[in-house]
Structure 1
């Protein structure tokens, strides 16, 4: 007699994302999705689907040159599903059908959002859906103002919608191949409307839906916000401003050479915002200084907020690591910030997340170097960090990679979107509790 298999919420999310990626890969590889009826290899279609669903932006083919309107629409739908989470999309249909959200479905939504409380999760989802629609519509309108005069009314509106959703979901896909393949928004490096709009969309999407809901509950009163929201707002602002200042200093004679002071400031902020974790670039990373690329990798590593459309180890994890270093240096027992003490297991969870993240990136970098000996260590490490952080920035090596290298990056994108710890939990069906507790013995650390 067969035993019923019950999946944990994290396993349902993992399987759901995998099925969406696979179906998207099949559709994108068909002639119906490609220009002039040309087909695309299944592995390249699967890579594009993975990158879109995991809101990364790495591409082995130029989106505009390869895909027709239908293919671009499929990519956009995958981006929206990846940004909201497929459980968020399922909730849309539940709301439309006026169906009751069960406790199990609420648990799935809680896991999808990364929320620590199941209470109020449906309200958060409702706000998320309405907020997403409003913000993306505003972004689409502003971006369309620039493209309608260039490509006509219908196509200009489509460009506005596509890039607004791609930016808000931190995906980094673009249709700039119409003007110059692989250019991202480098052709608009002097355009405040495009750059500021995309920066705003990226930043808002990267804060996380939990922060949105908290701000709405407390009417934007900072001192009444939860500790999570205070950390996200404070350190997100600090990372953006601090990163922009460093980029302005180090890139003056490199990628920003020839720009006016105003353009340098704007592109400095863009270079600081985009790696966390959007994938748009206003300058070519091959033209950046080594210091600029290293700073970009650091920002990709940190990423955005939990429960957001972005990736990386997450800002709160990074802050927990910094607090841990400070507390150990001061010989404190607790991790405290904003007159609040973090839970006892926060440090362990943060270190586990960072360790698994670094381990996967190092393994993939080694495989890329082994399979592509002509590539530099920097470019392979940059590519691996970009995939794991679901960023989508590249030093131009993505399109030349082989099948095994693409599979390696796909796995990193998948882990980066779900979280490496979540993927491990999805593989292990049950929590294993040791039957024996062994004697404690100290070891020397540091």
Structure 2
């Protein structure tokens, strides 16, 4: 079994196991357990760190059910296989080459050498970041909820934000509100945004930045592309949302400073996080389309986020510039990019667009809803963003199954799914005759 097949099988098993646990009577507050459909959808959503929910997490799920979801978020964000091998690394068992290749595929690591030590570093670093985030959130939750409940809320939201899951317990204050009740709090919004951005940049980007600090020229090309593309997307998204929603219904009663804060948070959270501080259904159609584009791109390779990935977008943009500059190779930051990476980027883009179009049209026909509403839901699932216009819980079982499949592809990765389903034919020495085709 190849590494990609093991990853696909592992995530599938984790979703099934999580769904079975959520069907237990103790998982819900009414003591009856969730239905098969609700349990599997919720398990897929939290394992794929998407954040789409059918019920208010605080009021519907018991403490046991919330703890199950917290564990699934952590396993889905950090990678179940990586966590298992991390635990095995403390035993006397030898970790074979196949397991190391699986870890390399899961983290999009540049090489297999030192991957076990790197996994330990990633695991401890992630826990440290989540603990720091939880400590910061305790300053807000503990005075309002008491020590024990405040600590649990802080840990839950820190893990959910860092893993870009978007699952929240803010229904305690107002059901289904996410962070809308605290949209004007710059401290809380800032902590959430930092956790989301750090989790979405990718594990190997951190190490590169920590190692070389402010020496940008020494960063690997991957790190440079991730940082530049992420920064541009966040800033452009915030400016567009502000200009489109300034003085509108979604910003009703907000000062200019609060509008900028909400716009920035919405731009960040569209990058696969799933929290929101604005009424998404009250936004203009233009803003909703901007959010669809941001959600579809998602985070970065080797991170807790899903989606098309920032590096894929960067490579596609660079390949377009090659045509205008009449160059034969794609170049960036005085480095030449291999053709295989460009081919993979084009393949992923076409796969995501095909999935988005087919699934959106299907749900639009099944549910008799607007195409833009259907596009929004499907983009949120495929980009593992988890944002919704309030339609998810009202969709039929067939439409929810489509969203589950999109969430799975978005988290595992479109290229990984293709490689897992495909077969390798090996290298072929002979080649067919070359013939030109007119394009454009």
Instruction: Calculate the TM-score normalised by the size of structure 2.
Output: 0.96
- Work out which of the residue numbers 94, 98, 102 in structure 1 matches 2:96: 102
Q: What residue is the counterpart of 2:300 in the other structure? A: 305
2:426 is the alignment partner of 1:426? no
Q: How many residues align?
A: 439
Q: What residue is the counterpart of 1:344 in the other structure? A: 339
Q: What residue is the counterpart of 1:235 in the other structure? A: 229
1:104-158 per-residue CA deviation (whole Å, 9 max, x = no partner) reads 2211110110123112322321221121111101111111221122222111111
Q: Are the equivalent residues in 2 in contact too, given 1:383–1:394 (CA < 8 A)?
A: yes
2:211 is the alignment partner of 1:217? yes
The farther-off stretch of 201-210 and 84-93 is 84-93
2:434 is the alignment partner of 1:440? yes
- Work out which of the residue numbers 41, 45, 49 in structure 2 matches 1:47: 41
Counterpart CA distance in 2 for 1:432 and 1:99 is: 33
Are residues 432 and 384 of structure 1, via their aligned partners in 2, closer, same or farther at CA, if it must alter by over 3 Å? farther
Q: Are the equivalent residues in 1 in contact too, given 2:86–2:119 (CA < 8 A)?
A: no
1:138-191 per-residue CA deviation (whole Å, 9 max, x = no partner) reads 111111221122222111111100000000000000111222221111111011
2:273 is the alignment partner of 1:278? yes
Shift of 1:220: 4.6
Q: What residue is the counterpart of 1:261 in the other structure? A: 256
Q: What residue is the counterpart of 1:115 in the other structure? A: 109
The farther-off stretch of 392-401 and 210-219 is 210-219
Q: What residue is the counterpart of 2:80 in the other structure? A: 86
SS in 1 for 2:89: helix
Counterpart CA distance in 2 for 1:182 and 1:147 is: 18
Q: What residue is the counterpart of 1:8 in the other structure? A: 2
Q: What residue is the counterpart of 2:385 in the other structure? A: 391
CA RMSD of aligned residues (A): 1.6
Shift of 1:429: 4.4
1:238-257 per-residue CA deviation (whole Å, 9 max, x = no partner) reads 22122212222221122223
1:192-221 per-residue CA deviation (whole Å, 9 max, x = no partner) reads 121100000000000001111222333453
Counterpart CA distance in 2 for 1:58 and 1:311 is: 14
Shift of 1:436: 7.0
2:364 is the alignment partner of 1:369? yes
Counterpart CA distance in 2 for 1:443 and 1:324 is: 19
1:358-398 per-residue CA deviation (whole Å, 9 max, x = no partner) reads 1111111111012101x111111001111011110011100
Instruction: Calculate the TM-score normalised by the size of structure 1.
Output: 0.95
SS in 1 for 2:404: helix
2:322 is the alignment partner of 1:327? yes
Q: Are the equivalent residues in 2 in contact too, given 1:278–1:392 (CA < 8 A)?
A: yes
2:168 is the alignment partner of 1:190? no
Q: Are the equivalent residues in 1 in contact too, given 2:189–2:265 (CA < 8 A)?
A: yes
Q: Are the equivalent residues in 2 in contact too, given 1:251–1:257 (CA < 8 A)?
A: no
Shift of 1:292: 1.4
Q: What residue is the counterpart of 2:285 in the other structure? A: 290
| Structure 2 spans left out of the alignment, 5+ residues | none
Q: What residue is the counterpart of 1:169 in the other structure? A: 163
1:40-62 per-residue CA deviation (whole Å, 9 max, x = no partner) reads 11111000000001000011121
Q: What residue is the counterpart of 1:3 in the other structure? A: none
Shift of 1:77: 0.4
- Work out which of the residue numbers 16, 41, 56 in structure 2 matches 1:62: 56
Shift of 1:99: 4.2
SS in 2 for 1:336: strand
Counterpart CA distance in 2 for 1:70 and 1:222 is: 45
SS in 2 for 1:13: helix
Shift of 1:432: 5.9
- Work out which of the residue numbers 137, 148, 159 in structure 2 matches 1:143: 137
